[in-house]
Amino acid sequence: MLFQGYIDKKIADGCSEDTLKSYEIYLGRFSDYLNSRGIADIRNMDELVVLGFIDTFTRYSPSVIHNTLCSLRTFFHYLFRNGFVSRDFAYIVPHDGYRQRTKVPSSYPKEDVETLLKSIDRGNPKGKRDYAIILLAARLGLRAQDICDLSFNNLKWETNTIELLQEKTGEPIVLPLLEDVGLAIIDYLKYARPEYEFTNAIFLRLAPPLGKLQAPTLHSIVTQHMRTAGIKTQDGKKHGPHALRHSLASALLEENTPLPVISEILGHRNTAATAVYLKIDVNQLRTCSLEPPPFDWNKGPEVF
């Protein structure tokens, strides 16, 4: 009950679904450990129990260990502040010094993106729908969930713009309704979209049960067409709609587009979120390279 009470508080605090799931996983393991030790009442918990649980982390990755320790601290603070325990065990939970490394975004050259688009057979309803979806990701950098949530109200034909609230950030964004994107959407709406009155969403399943597409399906759509186009994906390299978003950022950097402009296009709150794409701007990185000092193989390195 205490664990569920803590989760309910986090829900009231407005935690995201992903964060809540993480708390449930990490604290669920702690609950299982307490049960395995025969501790039915958390007031019977002591320092040795907490440290014993932490000793079981050896099989986990550094990121999982870090997240579990953080979850324990916040949970123990909650127990103490609400009078469920007489001691705040958060202060005996060790700090691991873990720092998450920013990953290099997965991106593809402009030539691969164009090959992908040209490979889609638009002579059938699925091809018309998939082409419009992939254009929205590749030309405008829309996230998968925002594409799924796109409705007729978001299309402003009179101003040639797409206006929406981003699902991830809750921030509004206005993007140009590019000619090829607009034509692809019109082609899909006229000749491919099923008649379905129960949703205002633009992109639907084409086979029963009809309904709005979900984000994981978009990942499968992009992956399927990349394979059809013969685009090779290296191990660990992403190949879904988010990779097309990364590819757009990479292409804009190659064209020397200022970082604030790219931030605005991608709907980032600030340029710090966009700066990660500098890691894939190889041409600009080359300008930062330094010439190695001269080395005389006969004398060896100079000693100063």
Known catalytic residues? Answer: 143, 168, 242, 245, 268, 277
CB atoms within 10 A of CB 292: 6
- Can you read off the two tokens belonging to residue 157? 């034909």
Backbone angles phi, psi at 94, to 5 degrees: -70, 155
- Can you read off the two tokens belonging to residue 144? 């998968």
229 touches 253 (CB < 8 A): no
CB atoms within 10 A of CB 134: 23
Q: Which run of H or of E encompasses 66?
A: helix 62-81
Distance CA 263, CA 273 (A): 8
Task: Scan for tokens 């931030």, then name that residue.
Answer: 263
Distance CA 277, CA 279 (A): 5
DSSP string over 194-261: ---TT--BS-B-SSSSP-B--HHHHHHHHHHHHHHTT----TT---SHHHHHHHHHHHHHHTT--HHH
Question: Smallest Cα–Cα separation from 72: which of 105, 118, 133, 31?
Answer: 31
Which amino acid is residue 52, in one-letter code? G
For 190-229, give one letter per residue: b (16+ CB within 10 A) or e.
eebbeeeeeeebbbbebeeeeebbebeebbebbbebbeeb
Distance CA 227, CA 120 (A): 11
